[in-house]
A and B are shown apart, each in its own frame.
Chain A
Amino acid sequence: MLRRTLLSAVGATAAMLALSGVAMAQETVKIGLILPMTGPFASTGRQIEAAAKLYMQQKGDTVAGKKIQLIVKDDTGTADVTKRLAQELIVNDKIAVMAGFGLTPLALAPAPLATQAKVPEVVMAAATSTITEASPFIVRTSFTLPQATVPMADWAAQNGLKKVATLVSDYGPGIDAEKAFTAAFTAKGGQVENLRVPLANPDFSPFLQKVADAKPDALFVFVPSGIGAQFMKQFVERGLDKSGIKLIGPGDVTDDDLLNNMGDVALGAITTQHYSADHDSAENKAFVEAFKKANNGMRPNFMAVGGYDGMHLIYEGLKKTNGEGGQALVDAMKGMSWTSPRGPVSIDPQTRDIVQNIYVRKVERKNGELYNVEFATIPNVKDPVKAAKSN
C-alpha cells in the first residue's frame, strides 16, 4: 500500500517535471509571437512567422547588448487559447513584448492582460479600427479596414460607379469595411446594398446569387486573408466573372499569398491597400527576394509586411529604451517613422496606430504571374474612424 502511494507520487513528480519549463538565466529580451499556425487562418501565421524570422536573420538577434529570443505559439485561431498563451508567456517566460494576433477577436482577448501587466502588444495583422483603443499598450503595424476602404469608395465614386453591392465577413473588420465604404460612397451620391457572410466556413454562393440578380455596377468584397481563393472560385461558379460586375474592395481578397493561384478570374479586380509584393521600391525588391529565398518561393503578402515592420518597430523601440520594456517601450514606439517595404510609414503618437500610404491597384499579369499593380497613391492615410473621433 505504502509503495503504491509512493509509486503514484513518483509518477506525479515526473509529470510535473515534464510540465514545468526550463528557466533561462541569460540576459535576454523575449518576444512572444502568438499566431494562428493551424486551422483556417494558418496562412496568416505562416506569413508573419516567416517575416519575423527573416527580420531577425537579417538584423541579428542582439539589440542594445541584449539577446532577442522569439517564442512562437500556435493559438489555433481560438481567442481563449490566445489569452491563455499570452498569460503564460507573461507570467512564466516574462516576455517583454507580445506580438502577432491574426484576427480581431484574437487581438482583443489579451488586451486586458497587456494593460494589467504593462506588456506592449504589437498587433501585426488584425485590422478592426477599435483594437488600439482596447489597451494603451497596443501598437499596430498592420492597417485598419477603414483606412484601406475609404480610398476605395472615393475611387469608385470618381470612376463613375453608381450602384455597388458589398459582401463582407460578419465580424469586426468586415463590419468596419462595410460601414466605412457605405458612408463614404453614399456621401458621394452612390447607392449601396449590404450583404454579410459568416466568418467561419463561409459559403458565398447564395450571396453571390443575390448579387447576380441585383446587377450592381460593382461588387465590394472583404474576406480575411486566406479566404480569397475560396471566394474567387465561387465567384466564377456563379458566372459573375462574365456578368460585367466589377470586383472591388480592400486588398484582402486579392491577397498576394493566394493571388497567383486564383487564375485569370482575378484579372482586372481593383483593390486599395497598403502593400503589394509588386510595390516598386528598392526596399521592397530586397524584401521580396529575401523572403522568397528563405521560404521556398512563397510570396510575401500584407501579413508578412506587418510582421516584418512589427519586428522592426520592436527592435528600434528596444534600441531607444536600451532593452527596457513596459511603458517606456510603448512611448519609444509612439511617433516612430521608417521606410518599410510598403513605403513610408509612421506610428501615430495619439492613437498608436499606423499611418501609411494607401495604393490603388489592379490585378495584372506580369512576367507570367498575377500581381496587384499599383497605379495611384493616397499618401499618409490615418485611420479615418479614429481621426473622425478626435475632431
Chain B
Amino acid sequence: MQSTTAETVRTGLSRRGRWGLGEIAFWLVAAATLFFLPERHLILNEIAIIGLFALSLDLILGYAGIVSLGHAAFFGLGAYVAGILAKNGITDPLAGLVVAAIASAILGFVTSFLVLRGSDLTKLMVTLGVALVLGELANQMSWLTGGADGLQGISMGPILGLFEFDIFGTVAYAYSLVVTFVLFVLARRIVVSPFGLSLRSIRDNPLRARAVGIPVNRRLVAVYTLAAAYAGVAGGLLAQTTQFVSLDVLAFHRSADVMLVLVIGGVGYLYGGLIGAVVFKVLQDVLSAWTPQYWQFWIGLILVLLVLAGRERLTDKARFAVKRFFGRFKAQRTDAMPTTSAREI
C-alpha cells in the first residue's frame, strides 16, 4: 500500500517536472525578443527583473501561503548591497549578485522567525514593518546610501570580464533574462520536488501537514529564506542594470506592485509572476505614453475589471478555446496527461 502511494507520488512529480511545449515556446519568445526588439530592451529588462521579483513572492505566497506586504525589504536590500559594492570598487556584476543574494537570504532567515508567528494579518503587519524599518534606515544612513538623493556614481564592470553594459540596454536585458531563467529553472525544480510538495500541503492545511510529520516551521523558514535571496537578486539586477539606487526600492509601492503583478499573472503558478510582469509593464508603458497624467486611472479600472471578471475564468476560457481548437489532434492524448501539470508549475 505504502509503496504504491510513494510510487504514484514519484511518477506524478516526475511527470510534473517535464517541460511542456508551451513553456519552451515561452522562453523561446523571450530569447527572440533579444534579437527582434532592440529598441525595447530597457523596458524588457525591467520586466525580467519584476518577473523575477514576482516569482520570488510566488514562492512564499503561492506555494507556502505566507502573505507578505513587505517583500520589497529584500528587493531593496539586494539593490543597496549590489549598488554599494559596485560603488566601492567591487564592480563584477556576478559577485555583486551573489553577495546581494546572501545578504537578503540572511535578512530573510532572521525575519522568518518573526513572520512565522501569528495569523495572516500578523504576517502582513510584520512584513510591512520590516520593510518600513529598512526604508527608514536607508534614509537615515545617507553617508552610506545617499539618502533621499539616491546612491550616485555606481559604475559596473563587464559581465564575466567580457560584456560591457551598453546604452541600448541589450547586455543588461540579456543579463537579467539569463539570471531570471536560471533562477526560474531552479525554482521549477524545487516546486516539483518532495520539498515543494510538502510546502503545498502546508499551504493547504498546516495542521494536517504537521500531523503527517512534515517539519512545518523548518520548511517555511527554508522557503522564506530562499524567496528572500531571489528578491535580493532581483534588486541587485535593478541596481546593476540601472546603475542607480534610490529609496524607492524599499518603498511600500514596490511591495504592493509586485503583489499586483502576481495577482494579474496568477498565484501558485511559476509563470504567473512572469506573465503578470509582462502584462503590467506593457499596460503601464502604453497607457502612460498615451496619457501621462491619467494612466493610473485606466490601470486601476483594468485591475478592477480583471479581478471582478476573474483571471481564472479568463485564462480557463482561453485554455478551453485552445483545447477545442486543437481537440482533433489531442483527443487521444488529453486523458494521458494529468490536468494539474501546467497549473502547478
A12→B39 CA distance, assembly (Å) = 16
- Taking a contact as CB atoms under 8 Å apart, the answer to whether A87 and B169 are in contact is yes
A8 contact set on B, CB distance < 8 A: 22, 25-26, 29
* Chain B interface main SS type: helix
Contact of B295 among A4, A74, A92, A200 (CB under 8 A): A74
In this complex, how many residues of chain B approach chain A with their Cβ under 8 Å: the count is: 48
A134 CA to B152 CA, complexed, in Å: 10
Cβ proximity bits B30-72 to A, threshold 8 Å, 1 near / 0 not: 0011001101101100100000000000000000000000000
Contact A172 to B292, CB < 8 A, known contacts A12-B32, A15-B282, A105-B246: no
Q: Which of B22, B33, B40, B244 is A4 in contact with, Cβ under 8 Å?
A: B22
Contact of B147 among A3, A113, A171 (CB under 8 A): A171
CB pair B42–A87 under 8 Å, yes or no, is: yes
A37-B292 contact in complex given A16-B33, A16-B36, A108-B152, C-beta closer than 8 Å: yes
A-B pair count, CB < 8 Å, reads 124
Chain B positions 222-271 with a Cβ under 8 Å from a chain A Cβ: 238, 242-249, 251
Decide yes or no: A116 and B286 within 8 Å by CB, A38-B296, A88-B42, A91-B39 being known contacts. Answer: no
Q: Does B326 sit at the interface, judged by CB under 8 A?
A: yes
Asked whether any CB of chain A lies closer than 8 Å to the CB of B148, the reply is: yes
- Once A7-B322, A80-B246 are accepted as A-B contacts, the answer to whether A87 and B286 lie under 8 Å apart by CB is no
As a 0/1 sequence over residues 1 to 28 of chain A, the CB contacts with chain B under 8 angstroms (1 = contact) are: 1011101110010011011110000000
- A117 CB contacts on chain B under 8 angstroms: 167
Please name all residues of chain A whose beta carbon is closer than 8 Å to the beta carbon of B150 when the two chains form the complex.
79, 105, 108-109
- Which residue on chain B has the smallest CB distance to residue A13? B36
A12 and B29 CA atoms in complex are apart in Å by: 7
* Bound CA span A169–B282, Å: 34
Give the number of residues in A that approach B within 8 Å (Cβ atoms).
Answer: 51
| B residues in contact with A37, CB < 8 Å | 292-293
Query: Do A105 and B22 touch across chains, with their CB atoms under 8 A apart?
Result: no
A4 with B326: CB separation less than 8 A: yes
A73 & B288 in contact (Cβ 8 Å cutoff): yes
Q: Which residues of B contact A7 (CB under 8 A)?
A: 322
Interface of A is mostly: helix
CA gap between A169 and B43 in the complex, in Å:
32
Within the complex, what minimum Cβ distance (angstroms) separates A18 from chain B?
7
Interface residue ranges, B against A (CB under 8 Å): 21-22, 25-26, 29, 32-33, 36-37, 39-40, 42-43, 46, 136, 139, 147-150, 152, 167-169, 238, 242-249, 251, 278, 282, 285-286, 288-289, 292-293, 295-296, 322, 325-326, 329
Interface residues of A (CB under 8 A from B): 1, 3-5, 7-9, 12, 15-16, 18-21, 35, 37-38, 42, 45-46, 49, 72-74, 78-80, 83-84, 87-88, 90-92, 104-105, 108-109, 112-113, 116-117, 128, 134, 169-172, 198-200
